[in-house]
Amino acid sequence: MHITLVSYYKAKGTILIISVRFESKYMGSGKSEIIDITHGGVSGKVAIFIQKNNPSFYEKNILPSISLVQDFIIKPLVKKEIEKKLDEENYPIFEVIEIETINRCNGDCAFCPVNKKVDSRPFKLMERELFISIINQLSNLNFSGKLNLYSNNEPLLDERIIEFAEIARLNLPDGHIHLFTNGTLLTVEMFQKLIPNLDFLLIDNYHDNDTLNDPVQDIFDFIKEKQEFHKKVKIRLIRKNAIRTTRGGQAPNKSKISNLTSPCISPFNTFIVRPDGKISLCTRDALGTYTLGDLTKQSIVEIWNGKEFWTIRNKILQGRNKLNLCKDCDAFAYVPHNILSLFHVLRDK
C-alpha cells in the first residue's frame, strides 16, 4: 500500500484542495472508477485505525466532534434551501421517493437497525397493485426526481424487483432510478437484466477486510473492462462492524445523542413508502416509528401536502429536539450543491 496524489482543484491560480489516497489492491488502471473505498483518504485511514483499536473513544469523542463541525457549516445552508422551497407559490413535490417493496434484509451489518439479527418488523411484501399505483401517480406528476427502489431492506429479496425496475423505467422516462444492494444475491444474469432500467446501481460490499464477497467479485470481473458501466455502477467497500451514523438513535452499535442544531431537510424533500403503503418520517425512520399517511387510502399529493407532513416540517424547523427520533439523529440528509459539484470536478479529472 502506498500514498498517491489523486487530484487537486485550482481556482484563480490557487490550489484549493489536494486529495491523497492510499492505493489498495482494487485501484489502478480504470478499476478505481468502479470501486469506492469508503474512508479511503488519509483521515479515513486514521479514523478506521481508531475505530478498530478504541471504538468507544471513537464513538464518544471523534464522531460527535465531526458532527458538530458539520452541523455548524451546514446549518445556514440547509436553512436557506428550506426557505427557498417555502417561498415557492406552490410547495414543490419531493425530490426523492424511496419504495420499500419488502421489509426484510439478509445482512447482519452491526450499524444497521434492520439487520436480520435485530429487525423487529412484521414481515410485509408490497402488493403489486400498490406498486403500480405509485408509479402511475408519479408518471402523472411527470416525476423527474430520484426513485430509490429500496429503503430499509435488501431489495433483491423481492423477486419482482427486476420487473418493477422495468415498469418504473417505462413509465418514468425522466426519473432517476437508483438501487442499493448488498450484492449477496446478485448474479451476472440478474445484473444484465436490471442495469438497462437503472440510472445508478450501488453495490455495498460489507466485509471487514476490504475483500469482495464472491457474488460482488463476479460482477466486478464482468464489468471491470466495460467502460459503459463505470459511471452507472459503484461498488462500495464498507466494514460490517463500522461505526456510522445513529440512524435516529436506532443504530445497534451507536446511539449517542449529538445535540445538533441544524434543521433536517428530509421531510421537505423526501417521501418514504413502506410495503404496506404507509409513509415514514424519513429513511432513518427504519422501523416506521412515524406514519405520515397511507397510500392505500390517500394519494401521494394528498399526503405530501397533508396535515401530518406539515406538522412534522413545522416542528423540525424549531429544532431536532422537538421530535423523538430526530433528537438522536446525526444525519444531515443534505449535501450542499457547490460542494457536490466540487467532488464531481475532482472525480472527473
Ligand X SMILES: C[S@@+](CC[C@H](N)C(=O)[O-])C[C@H]1O[C@@H](n2cnc3c(N)ncnc32)[C@H](O)[C@@H]1O
- The residue among 35 and 114 lying less far from ligand SF4, judged by its C-beta, is 114
Smallest separation (angstroms) from ligand X to the CB of 286: 7
Contacts of 152 (CB under 8 A, 6+ apart): 100, 103, 105, 113, 114, 283, 286, 287
Contacts of 23 (CB under 8 A, 6+ apart): 1, 2, 3, 4
251 binds, among ligand SF4, ligand X, none (CB under 5 to 8 A by kind): ligand X
- The residue among 115 and 283 lying less far from ligand SF4, judged by its C-beta, is 115
Where along the sequence are the contacts to ligand X (CB under 6 A)?
A: 105, 107, 111-112, 150, 152-154, 180-182, 204, 238, 244-245, 247, 251
Per-residue x/- mask for ligand SF4, residues 195 to 234, rule CB under 6 A? -----------x----------------------------
Cell 425530490 identifies what position? 95
Binding residue (CB under 6 A) for ligand SF4 from 63, 109, 195, 212: 109
287 binds, among ligand X, ligand SF4, none (CB under 5 to 8 A by kind): none
Cell 417521501 identifies what position? 271
DSSP string covering 220-242, please? HHHHTT-GGGTTTEEEEEE-TT-
Smallest separation (angstroms) from ligand X to the CB of 112: 4
Between residue 54 and residue 93, which ones bind ligand SF4 under the rule CB under 6 A?
A: none
| 210 contacts 75 by C-beta, under 8 angstroms | no
- Backbone φ, ψ for residue 282 (5° rounding): -170, 180
Smallest separation (angstroms) from ligand SF4 to the CB of 158: 13
Based on the shown chain and the rule CB under 6 A, indicate whether residue 154 belongs to the binding site for ligand SF4: yes
115 binds, among ligand SF4, ligand X, none (CB under 5 to 8 A by kind): ligand SF4
Binding residue (CB under 6 A) for ligand SF4 from 34, 37, 47, 105: 105
Query: H/E element holding 205?
Result: strand 200-206
Residue 163, CA atoms < 13 Å, CB-side half-sphere: 7
Based on the shown chain and the rule CB under 6 A, indicate whether residue 248 belongs to the binding site for ligand SF4: no
DSSP string covering 287-310, please? T------BTTTS-HHHHHTSHHHH
As given in the structure block, the three cell numbers for residue 247 are 440512524
As given in the structure block, the three cell numbers for residue 332 are 444531515
Stretch that binds ligand SF4, among 18-26, 111-119, 135-143, 213-221 (CB under 6 A): 111-119
Smallest separation (angstroms) from ligand X to the CB of 76: 24
Residues forming the site for ligand SF4 (CB under 6 A):
105, 107, 109, 112, 114-115, 154, 182, 206
